[in-house]
Amino acid sequence: MRSVAFHTLGCKVNQYDTEAIWQLFHHAGYEQVDFEDPADVYVINTCTVTNEGDRKSRQMIRRATRKNPESVVVVTGCYAQMAPGEILGIPGVDLVVGNQFRAQMMELIEKVREEKVPYNAVSNILTQKEFEDLDVPMFLERTRASLKIEDGCNHFCTFCIIPYARGLVRSRKPESVLFQARRLANAGYHEIVLTGIHTGGYGEDLEGYTLADLVRDLDKIENLTRIRISSIEASEITEDLLQAIEASSKICRHLHIPLQAGHSEVLRRMNRHYTIEEYAMKLKRVREVLPGVAITSDVIVGFPGETDDYFETTIDFIERQAFADLHVFPYSTRVGTPAAKFTDQVPESVKHQRVGRLVALADQLAVQYATTWLGETLDVIVEETMTQDGQTYLVGHTDNYLKVAFIGDTEQLGSLCAVTITKADAKVCLGELQASLSVLP
Ligand code: SF4
């Protein structure tokens, strides 16, 4: 039996794509081995979101090429899409496949095996109109299932390379999404996480079918417990979607709504499609339709032109929005994006200091949000175990994205448990098991 090993860099969408690519090998009779072990094929699914992403991708590619000269080394993903020539310049690389046509990977591997000539299968992703529907019937190590519904982005934020690497919005056909969602629910997954490069863009390229329609249709799937929207832009939270969310019994009380900056002038320079006033209005509406909702966000610190005043405004704005958690990123210049050419770059030392202040604020806000749930009993999907001071805890997430640890039986991995929150924390809250609500098949 032939063997394949994978290494994936980057985001949840890349991880989903790797699961989908593994299915192709699985159907072709391959077994999966660890990346450190000898394999007939090595697949590196790369990331290019930062220059560091490119560097780490090259590092893993070189590591694969040094392993087994007889093996086939395949490079795919965003760095492959952006720089196939550069990658083919690395000795030992046999095949480069971009973010489209992964479905042909098995034939392409046979082609390079026979012809023994490296092959570049990358095409212009910006001309792609069709979502590449690769099947993932189940996940190897997951208790919450990602469900990829969309690829690409039409926004072109000035700091971001992703639209050039992933192309424009391509939505998956609703019937295909619903088919996979039913199958995942039947396989025992209590939660599906709607995932995509720009999840909120779902339906932009479909005739008369929107994310709100998809939420309504998913809500009809009986044995599905939870639907989580992985991320959505403020500008895409329509009244129709809010009504679908309000009417749903399965939507998680958690929305990740990237802010990126808390000053409208910085947002304008980022080419973000909202002002801070509009953003605040959307959060107010979200809280009206989903009381107790956890709103998490992303913030880029030190974007070119971000003055001390702009940053202080960002701090004030974030304090007032009472986020449940924040991902804080120092702006990093990404070659190939408009912002990389902006002249008023912020010094690294200033970025570093600002990141420190915002991370401290993020922890404070996370504790404040968790504290509002003290004494409440919430359903937790058990995802993993952790041992602390010799005690084994079960760990998982509530629908409002609190990470909770509690004492229980490891048999309950993958199951749904009712847990009372006994200690609030920015990272992992503590809880007490009240009941086991289901078991994993
Ligand atoms: S919305 Fe902006 S940040 Fe997000 S993927 Fe699109 S271009 Fe990048």
Tens-digit pLDDT string for the chain (441 aa) = 999 999 999 999 999 999 999 999 999 999 999 999 999 999 999 999 999 999 999 999 999 999 988 999 999 999 999 999 999 999 999 999 999 989 999 999 999 999 999 999 999 999 999 999 998 887 765 678 999 999 999 999 999 999 999 999 999 999 999 999 999 999 889 999 999 999 999 999 999 999 999 999 999 999 999 999 999 999 999 999 999 999 999 999 999 999 999 999 999 999 999 999 999 999 999 999 999 999 999 999 999 999 999 999 999 999 999 999 999 999 999 999 999 999 999 999 999 999 999 999 999 999 999 999 999 999 999 999 999 989 999 999 999 999 999 999 888 888 999 999 999 999 999 999 999 887 554
Contact by Cβ (8 Å): 164, 204: no
**Cα–Cα–Cα angle for 411, 417, 420, rounded to 5 degrees:** 130
Mean pLDDT, all residues of the chain? 95
Q: Is 302 left (phi over 0), alpha (psi -120 to 50) or beta?
A: left
* Ligand 1 nearest-atom number relative to CA 163: 7
Q: Is 352 left (phi over 0), alpha (psi -120 to 50) or beta?
A: alpha
Return the structure tokens found at 15. Answer: 């991880």
CATH number assigned to the domain with residue range 261-372, chosen from the 4 options 3.40.190.10, 3.20.20.190, 1.10.260.40, 3.30.750.200: 3.30.750.200
**From 78, 99, 153, mutation site for ligand 1 pocket: most ligand atoms within 8 A of C-beta:** 153
CA 363 / ligand 1 centre spacing (Å): 25
End-to-end CA distance of the chain: 29
Domain boundaries, the chain: 3-123, 128-252, 261-372, 377-438
Q: Which fold has domain 377-438?
A: OB fold (Dihydrolipoamide Acetyltransferase, E2P) (2.40.50)
Phi (first) and psi of residue 151, to 5 degrees: -135, 155
Q: Which amino acid is at 170?
A: R
* Ligand 1 nearest-atom number relative to CA 160: 8
Same-fold call for 128-252 versus 377-438: no
- For domain 128-252, say whether CATH 3.30.830.10 is its number: no
pLDDT of residue 420: 98
Q: Which fold has domain 3-123?
A: Rossmann fold (3.40.50)
